[in-house]
Every structure is written in C-alpha cells, then in structure tokens.
Amino acid sequence: MHQSIPLFNWSLRKAQDTEPDSFIRARISIAYTIILFALLKSIIVLFISINSGLWLQVPRAAFVLAVYVIMLKVLLYKPSSLKILTHIMTIVGILIIVSNIYLYTHKINLISLQFVFMIMLTGFYILGNGWGIMYSLISALPIIIFLILKGNPNLYFSSATQEIPSPGVEIIAILNFVSIIINHSLFYRAFQRNLKEKENLNQQLQLSVAEANSLAISRTNFLATISHELRTPLNSVIGITDLLLLDQPEERQKENLRILQFSAQDLLSLINNVLDFNKLESDKMVLERVPFCLAEFMRNICSALMVKADDKKLRFVLEIDHKLEGVVVNSDPTRLSQLIYNLVGNAIKFTDKGTITIRLDCIHKSDQTTDVLFSVTDTGAGINPEKHDAIFELFTQAESDTTRKYGGTGLGLAIVKQVLALLNSEIHLESSPGKGSRFYFTVSFVVQWEYPETISKRITDNTNFDQLKILIAEDNDVNRFILKKHLDKLNINAIMVANGKQAYEAILADDYRLLIMDLQMPEWDGYETIKQIRSIKDPAKAGIYIIAFTASVTEQQKIMDAGFNDYLYKPVTLNDLKVKLEKTVSLIGLT
Ligand code: ADP
C-alpha cells in the first residue's frame, strides 16, 4: 500500500497489486463489491422512485449515490483508507436501516434484514472482532426497538406508500443476496489462500532448517578435521621443544626454545578457542573430571605465563592461599587452564608496565568441597565501564583499534563466560581506564584428599610404573617418537605399534594393562579396533583400559560411547601424560 496509485485509476487490480497480504486484498475486494452494488442499487432506486413519484426516496438515493462514488474513488486511489471507508459505509448502512424502518416502510422488511447482515459481514471481515460486535448490535438495534414498540410486525412486503414497488424491490433483494454471497466467498478464498501460503512457508522453513543443520554439521566436521590437521604438526613442535628443553640445553638455546614453545602454545590456545567456540555453540562441551593438585597445577600454568610477562618486563605475582596447598580437586584442568590462559594472557597483552597478580583465595572449605576465588589483576589499559558487558560477547573488543594494536579475535572472554557457566560460576570485572583491571570468579571444587601422597609416591617410585604394561597404537612417526621420549622420562617401557590391527594382534598375543590408541589410523581406525578388542572372548583382554589419543576436541561423546575409558589430547606434554597415567593407575591399580 506504499506505492502511489494514479488518481484516475478505476482498476481494483492496481489497488490490490501493492498489497502482499491476501486477507487485506480480500478486504479491499469486499469493500469494492459492496460499494459497486450500492451504486447499482442507488441508481435503480433513483430511477424507480422518480418514475413512481416516491419523492422521499429520491434525496436518500441521490445522497447514497454521491457518497459511494466518492468512496469508490478514494478506495481505488488510496486503498490504505479502507478502514475509514468501511466505518463510513457502515454508518450509512445503519442510517438506511433506520430510515427504511421508521421513515419509508414502518415495518421490518427483507431489505432491512439484508442490510443488517451486510453490516455484520463488513464489521467482522473488514474491521475485526471488536467493531464487528459493536456494529452488529447497533444495526440490529432499530429492528429490536421496532419489535418492542410494534409487537408482531409483518416482516414481508407491504404496500406502504414510500416502499419501492415491484420489480425494484425484488432486484434490490437479489442484488443484496449476491453481494452477501460474493463477500463471504471472497473472504473464504482469502482464508484458504492464507492456509496454503502458511503451508508453503512451513515447507520452506523446514527446508531451510534442514539446510542450516547440514551446514552446521559440515562446519563442525570441517573444524574437527582442521583441528586434527593443525594439532598434528603443533604436537610435533610443542613435543620436540619440550624434549629439547628437558635435555639441558645451553642458556642461549634455552631462551630461543622458550620463545618457540610459547609461540606454539599461543597458536594452540587460539586453535582451542576457535574449536571450543564451535563446540560451545553446538552444546557439545562436556566437563572432564580428573583429580589434580590445584596449587601445583596453577604453578605449572603460571610458570609458562611468567616468561611471557618477563618479556614485557612486567612483574608477575602468583599468590596461592596456604589452605589450598596439597589440596587435590576433581575438575577439568583443560578448561581451567583455558580460563587462566585467556584472562592472564589478556592481562599481559593489555599491560605495558606494572604488575600482573593472580590470586587464589580459599573462601570456604569442607571435607568434600572447597570454594576458590580466582582473581587476575593488572595495571594495564583498563576498560571503559560502558564496555564491561560488551567485551564478554563474541568477537567484541573494547576499542576499535584493539586488533590493530594488540591483535586478538574477541573470542577469549566469550569462551571464559561460557566455560564458567558450565562450572556453575560467572565472571566479574572491576576496571577503570588507565588504572587497570581485575577479573574474578569463584569455582566450587569437589575435593579428593587422598590422591596426592599415594600417587606421587607411585610416580616417583619407578618400579610401580614398570608393572604397567602399556601398548601404544599410533601411525604418526613424530607422535610416536614424542610419546616414547615422554614415557622414557617417566621410566615406562611401552610397546609401539603403527595401526589398529597390529594393536589387536599384540593384545591377543600378550597381556597389557593399558592401550593408548590414536583414532585415525590406516587399516583399522581407533573405533573399529576397539570394537574388535571389546569382542575378544577372554574378558581380561576384552576389558583392557583404553585411552583414545586424539587431536579432535569435538569427539568426547563419540569416544566414550564407543567404549573408550578415557581420552588424551594431542599435542601431549609430559605433564599431561603424567596426569593421565596417574589417573589410570589410581583407577586400575597396579599388580
Ligand atoms: P581478544 O583479547 O582476542 O581481543 P577477548 O574476548 O579476550 O578478545 O577480550 C575482548 C576485549 O576485552 C579485548 O579486545 C580488550 O579490548 C578487552 N580486554 C580484555 N581483557 C582486558 C584487560 N585485562 N585489560 C584491558 N582490556 C581488556
């Protein structure tokens, strides 16, 4: 209805073309039909009343004719005035009923009743329910009053002086019926068209949803593949750097190796953020529950971050509440390190001078749980209070020049927020521009008190690990080499095979307690191999503890559903491997 229509337009189609809604188009048609029939009827009445000398009828018919000609023009020129025109039409209709009953016929005849029906029809179909009810009552009122006043009236034609004589009255009655029928039919057709349109829309919607789903699935698969492709070479870089650092390098080499290690770690953390974003979006992230010593874990992470702060000549302080020393918690170290990496990484990135402080305060402790308040404080750029909420949204940075000055993706804090939600916590921020920022959150941990002493004894006592007969199935030479080196450091002697079939045969031939198995291998992949192993007749062999060794972070559920006991992410560091083996030993025991 926004397009302009020529003033001399007499075409209904032009008036309707601008209107996409089939119901409104039907309403315009109804008004158009009623006006057209009214014009025709007024001309007939005018003609007959002049001929028959019914002079009282002439002014009314002339008035109706004039008003309806104007209304028809307005409707075709400006269809948006439909409702106002309908109100006028209805009021004129009511006046016709009143004049029919009280002025011309002094009774209730068929024509008056037909007018009442037409007013009801236009009221409901064009103006809606409220107006429909109101106009229906008003149009019926003159009839009701007449009935009350006159008792039992003659409802049919009589020879009252001002009544239009035959055949005029019959023609008008027939035209009224035709108009009523056409209008009902117009509305019903619009109703059906609307249903059909809805059906089509539904079908289109279903197609779009299916398309969007398949796109989402291919994106997830694409990211899982990319994750594997990126993590495999990174695995080599981080693993080999780790090994070189453990081989007592010269001081000069040490510095270069550290830089290499942190660049690789940075890249890995970026890849993890991108992948986790994908996982969080598809609700696939599951928290792991692994026992680890919280204080030791924090020192490990921070020793890596400390070097980064050192590069920028920043003071780096880690303060751990003494109540947390030696406390072993059951939680997800990967997610926790992701939180710390993102927050401390940002603190270092956005601070040019001063101090980065990481504090862990035990705010509540019982035998089963401990609530820890983590806070990361810096003396850096600070954040404008207006941006305090926005920076936790995806891809949002506080300033428009942040990427140019400091780099970054705007993913880190959004992931922090979502990971904390999984840990039933939330992030808080205190910050003012130029003064620095403090990000803090509280996590409630389940405590595992007995774990550290026994396990650390087992770890330092190499004879215990000697009894853990491990089989490793991995087709990638570099991964195998790194794993072997790490296992050597832990004094563990493992047998290496290059594919699933060989792993299956090795298990049949010998007794192993643990199999660490890559998922993507030639011949049988990890999933096929585990199926074969779990169906071996000997229950001891079939029940072997199997850890999936994977680069994909989106397959946790699939891995566990396939019957694996645990998973170990690539690239694996010596510490990751140690933690995983500690967990395995505590679960299966050593013989
Ligand atoms: P990225 O660091 O990749 O840009 P984040 O989601 O980690 O993305 O951070 C979003 C934005 O929040 C940053 O771009 C920066 O503007 C602001 N920000 C985060 N941490 C700090 C901080 N410690 N000091 C100042 N600004 C920060």
Tell me the per-residue pLDDT of 62-101, one tens digit each, with 9 for 90 and over. Answer: 999 999 999 999 998 888 899 999 999 999 999 999 999 9
- Domain membership of residue 390 (yes or no) is yes
CB of residue 437 inside a 6 A radius of ligand 1: yes
**Of 452, 491, 489, the residue nearest 575 (C-alpha):** 489
CB of residue 347 inside a 6 A radius of ligand 1: yes
Assess contact for 549 and 235: CB atoms under 8 A: no
- CA angle 562/563/569 to nearest 5° reads 80
Question: Do both 443 and 477 map to the same domain?
Answer: no
In angstroms, what is the span from residue 66 Cα to ligand 1's centroid?
Answer: 72
Question: Do both 439 and 488 map to the same domain?
Answer: no
- Domain membership of residue 214 (yes or no) is no
Given pLDDT bands bounded at 50, 70 and 90, which one contains residue 283?
low
Question: Do both 399 and 296 map to the same domain?
Answer: yes
Please write the tens of the pLDDT for every residue from 316-360. 999 999 888 878 888 888 788 889 988 999 999 999 999 999 999
In angstroms, what is the span from residue 338 Cα to ligand 1's centroid?
Answer: 15
- Domain membership of residue 336 (yes or no) is yes
In angstroms, what is the span from residue 297 Cα to ligand 1's centroid?
Answer: 24
pLDDT at 184 over 90: no
Given pLDDT bands bounded at 50, 70 and 90, which one contains residue 558?
confident
CB of residue 409 inside a 6 A radius of ligand 1: yes
pLDDT of the residue at 463: 38
Omega of the bond prior to 167 within 30 degrees of 0, cis? Answer: yes
Of all protein residues, the one whose alpha carbon is nearest to atom 17 of ligand 1 is 398
Range of the domain at 300: 289-451
Question: Do both 487 and 446 map to the same domain?
Answer: no
Please write the tens of the pLDDT for every residue from 129-172. 999 999 999 999 999 898 888 766 555 445 455 677 778 888 88
Question: Do both 294 and 435 map to the same domain?
Answer: yes
Cα dist. 435→398, 408, 438, 526 in Å? 15, 21, 10, 53
**Of 334, 355, 220, 211, the residue nearest 274 (C-alpha):** 220
pLDDT of the residue at 455: 44
**Conformational region of residue 238, where left means phi above 0, alpha means psi within -120 to 50, and beta covers everything else:** alpha
Given pLDDT bands bounded at 50, 70 and 90, which one contains residue 404?
low
Rounded-to-integer distance, Cα 428 and Cα 376, Å:
11
Mutate which of 391, 404, 430 for ligand 1? The one with the most ligand atoms within 8 Å of its CB, which is 391
Assess contact for 500 and 475: CB atoms under 8 A: no
CB of residue 344 inside a 6 A radius of ligand 1: no
For ligand 1, what atom is nearest to the CA of residue 382? Answer: 25
CB of residue 415 inside a 6 A radius of ligand 1: no
pLDDT of the residue at 591: 41
In angstroms, what is the span from residue 369 Cα to ligand 1's centroid?
Answer: 32
What is the number of structural domains in the chain? Answer: 3
- Domain membership of residue 188 (yes or no) is no
Question: Do both 99 and 38 map to the same domain?
Answer: yes
CB of residue 354 inside a 6 A radius of ligand 1: no
Mutate which of 402, 429, 430, 432 for ligand 1? The one with the most ligand atoms within 8 Å of its CB, which is 402
Q: State the CATH number of the domain containing residue 541.
A: 3.40.50.2300
In angstroms, what is the span from residue 344 Cα to ligand 1's centroid?
Answer: 11
pLDDT at 9 over 70: no
Please write the tens of the pLDDT for every residue from 34-43. 999 999 999 9
In angstroms, what is the span from residue 397 Cα to ligand 1's centroid?
Answer: 6
Of all protein residues, the one whose alpha carbon is nearest to atom 20 of ligand 1 is 346
CB of residue 398 inside a 6 A radius of ligand 1: yes
Question: Do both 409 and 554 map to the same domain?
Answer: no
- Domain membership of residue 475 (yes or no) is yes
For ligand 1, what atom is nearest to the CA of residue 399? Answer: 16
Contacts of 8 (CB under 8 A, 6+ apart): none
What's the one-letter identity of residue 125?
A: Y
CB of residue 397 inside a 6 A radius of ligand 1: yes
pLDDT at 444 over 70: yes
Please write the tens of the pLDDT for every residue from 347-402. 999 999 999 999 999 999 887 899 999 999 999 989 989 888 888 887 666 666 65
Question: Do both 25 and 133 map to the same domain?
Answer: yes
pLDDT at 543 over 60: yes
Please write the tens of the pLDDT for every residue from 217-240. 887 778 767 766 787 788 778 878
Question: Do both 489 and 402 map to the same domain?
Answer: no
Of all protein residues, the one whose alpha carbon is nearest to atom 22 of ligand 1 is 347
Of all protein residues, the one whose alpha carbon is nearest to atom 2 of ligand 1 is 408
In angstroms, what is the span from residue 145 Cα to ligand 1's centroid?
Answer: 78
Beta bridge partners of 176: none
pLDDT at 284 over 70: no
Least confident of 286-300, 528-542, 557-571: 286-300
In angstroms, what is the span from residue 224 Cα to ligand 1's centroid?
Answer: 27
Question: Do both 547 and 431 map to the same domain?
Answer: no
Q: State the CATH number of the domain containing residue 308.
A: 3.30.565.10
Last residue of a domain, one of 451, 486, 516: 451
CB of residue 346 inside a 6 A radius of ligand 1: yes
Rounded-to-integer distance, Cα 148 and Cα 101, Å:
13
- Domain membership of residue 141 (yes or no) is yes
pLDDT of the residue at 97: 94
pLDDT at 454 over 60: no
- Domain membership of residue 272 (yes or no) is no
pLDDT of the residue at 464: 59
Please write the tens of the pLDDT for every residue from 408-435. 667 889 889 988 988 999 999 999 898 9
Question: Do both 499 and 413 map to the same domain?
Answer: no
Last residue of a domain, one of 137, 165, 193: 165
What's the one-letter identity of residue 470?
A: I
CB of residue 265 inside a 6 A radius of ligand 1: no
Last residue of a domain, one of 165, 191, 209: 165
Which single residue is written with the structure tokens 């009701």?
Answer: 144
Question: Do both 76 and 156 map to the same domain?
Answer: yes
pLDDT of the residue at 156: 46
Which pTM was predicted? 0.52
Rounded-to-integer distance, Cα 529 and Cα 117, Å:
79
Rounded-to-integer distance, Cα 67 and Cα 75, Å:
12
Q: What is the mean pLDDT of the chain?
A: 84
CB of residue 348 inside a 6 A radius of ligand 1: no
- Domain membership of residue 371 (yes or no) is yes
pLDDT at 403 over 60: no
pLDDT of the residue at 460: 44
